[in-house]
Structure 1
Amino acid sequence: MTPSPPKQRALLALLLVRAGSPVGLSDVIDVLWPQGPPRSAPNVVRHHVSALRRLLSAEGNGGGAVPLTRGCGGYRLDVDADCLDLLVFRQLAERARQATRDGSPPTATGLYADALALWQGPAACGIAAEVRTHPVFAAVDEECVSTVRAAAAVALAAGASDRVLAPLRQAAAAHPLDESVQAHLVLALSATGRQAEALAAYRAVRERLAEELGVGPGRELTDAQQRVLGQHPAAARRARPQPEATARPAPDTYTGDPPPPPRTPSAVTRPSRTPSAVTPPAPRSPSTAAPSPPRTPRVRPAHLPADLPVFAGRDDDLARAEALSTRRGSHGATASPAPTITVIEGMAGVGKTSLAVHWAHGVASRFPDGQLYADLRGFDPAGAALESGEILRAFLHGLGVHPQDMPVGLDARAALYRHLLADRRVLVLLDNARDSAQVRPLLPGAPGCHVMVTSRNRLQGLIAAEGARSIVLGPLSEAEGREVLSRRLGAQRIAAEAAAAEAIIALCGRLPLALAIVAARAGSGPGFPLASVAAELREGHGGLDAFSGDEADVRAVFSWSHRYLTPTTARLFRLLSLHPGPEVSRHAAASLAGLGPREARAALADLTRSHLLTEPAPGRYACHDLLRAYAGERVRAEETEHGRRDALGRLLDHALHTAQTAVDLLYPHRTEREPPPSRHTGATPAPLCGRESAAAWLTVELPALLALVESADTGGFLTHAWQLALALELFADRRGLRDEQISLQRAGLAAAERLGDPLGRAHLHRTLGFALHRTGADAEARSHLDRALRLFTALDHRDGQARTLRSLAFLANSRARHEEALEHYARALAHYRTTADVRGQANVLNEIGWTHILRGDHHEALTRCATAVALHQDTGDAGGEAAAWDSIGYAHHHLGQYTHALSCYRQALVLYREIGERTLEAESIGHVGDTLHAQGDHRAARASWEHAAAILAEWGHPDADRLLEKLHDATTGPA
């Protein structure tokens, strides 16, 4: 039934939206005549009501008239709840919310999906647009969008984002400036394997916000982007006090993070090329505030790996895991004040990790404060078990601790870890533990937490001292083995070839890993009889002395499966064992084997289908440690030493060239680099198309790159090692990754020392010295910088001498030794003048000006920085010119010349935006906020600081802390 007159349709829509509730005459008139009613409006309403009664009576709505009555409260339409989509929608949504409260995200997701399937578009879309915008209909639209947000959040937690992706896309298209909806869309796209589309969606909304509103994306949206890139920034971080005497790095050096950033100011025209001279009033000292105590945000980690698509059997073991995780005392209280600990122990390939991950997904909702996961790599074929301190650093980061605030040392990290979990209910899954000593520092102290550990060894220390309970996992039963094959190959096929299936189960030692590999091969086509599979497996047994006992069964499966790979795919499988990291990217794999990207993609797909590799993330591949050990055995048997060395050379070429390209994209004015060694034929650098892809690549690959630097001397690639460490130093420094920064520089320096390369040693002494200074180890830092200066002097490397002197000046400024800093800068300036390096001279002059600012001599600072501006303009260095303009603005600010300061800052912003230098743009925006605040415009100041913090958070920059603290403090100030 659809009434013809527009007003009648609008009236029906209103009554349906308010079904079961009276609608007053004045409300009806307000909706039907948004521009103002005529005098006859009450009579017209009564006419339309009478007409609707006749229509409702005649149509009967499928057999029974729908009563439209009038009482003292107004007109009321009574509709059965199951006859109106809106009422059904609300019932389903409420049931979904209840399921969420009950801790059942999968159930809630299904109910939300059913509810949203009823949403066909905007409320009352068949009526006039001016009527549809009335708040009564807008509220229904907002109700639907709010439900979409809730559905997206719970689906993400349940790992079922695909079920709500369609309505989420619909909501995002209808509300392009709703940052919360857009953030949920970004996360849902990423969770369903659409990372590229997720990043594109983020870029699109960011550009639209800038174009239509003149603002940058807010915290929720930037956090979503960071999660797609593999980072989980905290909503707020500890702010570090910034004293007045703080050294400031030059824009082209590695000597530290740039200062803070601000919100986009109004468009400005570029001022004259030469800063005007000013005669300012007496200098004003800026006020200083006592630093706030450290604050760590409450972040809910969700680190579990994806559950297996096929999991069969193990019902008794799952039940025991459940019972051990809920151990209780006689009165229902937790039996002890410590967390419960379950250890799953068993031989390699028996399915310990699969059982633990599958169980953890089933109980995740019982741990509302999150889940932590780490592969401890206790049985890595290369012997590279992770240290407990490394795992704690990753856990603390997942719990919201920023790298800048990361404690140094195992005991300090363990103490902070226990403190953060003291009042939380968190599930901790520790996979592949080597021994009790590796696990013990990772145990929380909270009784609400549960720890699940897997290991090939019996962790007697945990059982005896920590009260852990164990599950000894043996091979599958024959019935469970049949269930595994039936789930993978089909029950009818297994029943039809029962004898062959039983033989396969026995020949695989009833091990899930071996059965999965055999099933993948047997499932490649219906013309592959199971009897043939069993016969070939029998031929593979015997002579497998590299494995012993039950492991010989699984090795026989590996050998059989390896034999059926194409030569190209088999060679790639073998060569992957040379990669030192736990995961490998597609382009790194292509480089190892000297394949083109298409060939590599096809070979990796074959290995994944054969269950010889897994793909934990799109384009990234991992290998079970048993399979990796087998691949290592085969590569030593079938590849010559020269072939293995060439493969490692191609891998290092891929890493070095891609890393240098990525760093150049992020920091285009970086000049401290040396020509890389000539590239091996077949090396494939990863294609990077801009700053975002460069940042994503470096973030994901950094652990593997560090491992490559540390292991590069295995094949004699020491030059690659120190150059790779040098290339990555700036990225690690800007991101505040102090542990990685120092580890990289130490490994790079060790390679240069072994090589006996004085140039490499000089570079790495300088970068290691500065990295150590960032952690407060100034004595050791000074020692390395002094050695760098001696080496560069012996090489007559004037650029290196100048850079090292600038680093020494930076260190001196940070200790308020400004006269010493000026002496270092004077020597650096002399070197640049000798080599006619005008850009270097301009940078030093700006740094000298900054040192005068720190000394309080703002007039001298203006003179030096003005000269720097002129020189940078002569060389066309927009980044250097912008930094000098920012320094001039800072000096004007401290002289009370706020108008001049804002003009200079805005000039810096124009230049930074021209070259895409986002973090330094943010610094100048933050300075704009400081000046606006000093002028008394507190609202505009907060807007600038907020924008600055958003930019820094987007890049994971630790200086976002200071802006967040400033914003927090400003909320109590005047608006």
Structure 2
Amino acid sequence: MEFGLLGAVEVRDSGALVDVGHVRQQSVLVALLVEEGRPVPVDRLLDRVWGERAPLRARETLYGYVSKLRKLLELDIERSPAGYRLTVAPDQVDLFRFRALVRQGALDEALGLWRGQAVEGLESPWFDALRESLHAERVAAELDRNDVALADGRHAALLPSLRLLAADRPHDERVAAQLMLALHRSGNDAEALRHYETVRRELADELGADPSKPLQDLHQRILAGDSALSHVEPEPRQLPAPPPWFTGREQELAALAPPGTAVITAIGGTGGIGKTALALHWAHLHLGDFPDGQLYVNLRGFDPSAEPTPPEAVLREFLEALGEEAIPAGLDARAARYRGLMAGRRILVVLDNARSTEQVVPLLPGPDATVLVTSRLKLAGLVAAHGARSVSLDVLHHADARAFLEVRLGAERVAAEPGVVADLVSWCDGLPLALSIVAARAAMEPDFPLAVFAQELREQPLDALDAGEIGTNLRSVFSWSVAALSAEAARAFGLLGTVGTADVSLPAVAALLDRPAARTRMVLRELENAHLLQQHVPGRYRMHDLVGLYAADLEADAGSRLADFYAATARAAALTLEPHKPLPDHESGHALSFLDNAAAMAWFDAEHGCLMAEQRQALACGAFGVAWMIGRTLNNYHVRRGRTLDDVEVWLGALRAAEALGDETKQANAHFCLGTDYVELGQSSLGHQHFERSLELFARSGDHAAHGSAHRAMAWAAEFEGDLEKALEHSLRALEMFRAAGTEIREAESLNEVGWRYACLGRYAEARTCCEDAMLLNEKLGHTEGAAATLDSLAHIASHDGRHDDAVAHYRQALALYREVDNSAEEATVLDHLGDVLAAAGNDAEAREQWTRALELYERQGRASEAAAVVAKLGSAGGRSRSARR
């Protein structure tokens, strides 16, 4: 409901006129409205409506009018001993809006509310006085507006209305001064001086008074040709109000120091990151640095309801604000005139929501002004060609996001549910728009616990971040950015939403899009430029979590392209590390290849998190071949990096996949690897359950090599648990199986392990024979990792034979080979052993050096028991420890 008093009385319900009844009923409504919620005694109300012409039974008539108004307009008109009270919101009454706008300085908007004489048609002495009072308020606002227009240099446009006003108010000296100044600045001094004489005579003839001193001073200055009187440079003040709940951004605010051109951009590609809020907050903090004014325009670069504002239209607005009356035609002419007017003036120009560099360049005023440009794009051309500084916005830090909610909702409400607030901040992921929507919804429901909103965010994040209006709906805000993309980039955006990993590499995206890497890079660059994607390290890309959820909504299942890429590339990397271990084929047209161990290990390092996530996704969608392949290919990498817990996770996933596939050989492999991992983690009972199941499955398969691998794993577990005799027994059984299978690489590895266990039992002659045979076979096969393990064993044997120089030499050779294949787990073990031998030979300084390196690797790999043993040795500068082997 809206009430109009600045003209004929009007009441509108959702824009439609409502018949309020006859004049006296309207008078009752207005007499109550103007009190802004204050009670009006009945006698005073009667006097306002009828004056001295109140009818008989006036009180009963008044009660009837009030009753009808209640029913007709559904108004809450209260009656109390103090009188009648009508309360409506200030913005429902045009009179109250007028006064508020005048206080804010929005004079044109305020005066635009007037439709004629105030409360026109209502008759009584009180209404006549009210009308005269409101007319005085209107005139005062008009005169204030004239002062602003004169200060802005709009004297020529003001002359017609000033002449009419002066004729209507011949004794108003303020009007006279305004007309004289406008005439003087228009080059019409003669008319200005004649008007002064007219006013002087009328004041003398009718009032017997002289003009006031200010008017006389103006007259003398015009006579004297005072140049300062003619000079005016409009000072535009176009900045919107500062954001009321701004928090954080200290570094970004510091980066926006004048002078110069600064470009505010956004990381993560979202609208809603707070670009405009930052620009306006900074601008209001630095108003004193721009004494000549501020220009602002919303360029509507990503507005769904309008095309981007053309520079020609913006230049017209800016030129008018700068006092230009004759606006030139054409973009170039307007831009030249704009630069001329801005030269030498300290003005701030805020170009908000730009679509492109081309839209911005004509609006750059030259070196004297400071320009802030906000955009969802990076505007690289502005940086490259115009020296703009780029200030990139990321999401708010956790503390700043919490502070934002405290400012919006109150510290007490936030403190009452600290865990829930942490969840809200986490789900909003520092995105200011998301925080604003949550805070607004919570503010509108002050009695609801914040847990209600947190639960909605957990269940349906994007739905919960919809406040029901354009601009407060996260989906719509994101959609404006996506709408600006090419078709290919929009499709890529949707497909990237299906990637369930924290980030993704360029080759992986190429596989997902089924495009060459070079073309993929260009598509990703478009998404980066739109801030829908971030290349956070070279060659790796990520999305803000909420952007990713939105992207996932846009695209159906991307199929198996990405899963096939990861599985096929992981297979290629695993075969590079262990070419002797056969793996089933897995096809992908985008699979990578690797030149050496270092390249394969580097790929596993970079993609480890993605591979783990991809396996989980593969299990969820029934891609069991992919899930098993990823688990199998990560095994050797995990061993080399000492990542036993991760190995358990992927092998449990691989076991689920193998069971779903009904493949007993795959199941057996998963069981014996899980057995090894669990024993290493100190869960021997669980480990042996997996070993027993593995042996059972391998026995049924008749696969000697696989059966040998199970015995080999059980040998390692027995040694780890301190049962060396049992370990040797399983080692000999594994050697027998590998020889029966004709797998020479496995035979070489088993010969070394048999030799090692002979050595652990003190049978050094047998140990040396087995290890030397293993070394010959490794060299024949070119099995680098096998040779490194055997050298470690030969070094141990040599040290016990008293051949310390041989032992040191063997350890150094083993160390070089492990580094060659990037096996940091065994590198740590060899460094530990080398330190033992050096200490035994009395070389304590170098021993400590090797132990220190071993300790760094143990700690990095989470091998707590080995690390503790080294710490003890470093403390005593002696002792020896032998870590378990695999």
TM-score (norm 1): 0.43
Larger relative contact order (CA 8 Å, sep ≥ 6): 1
TM-score (norm 2): 0.46
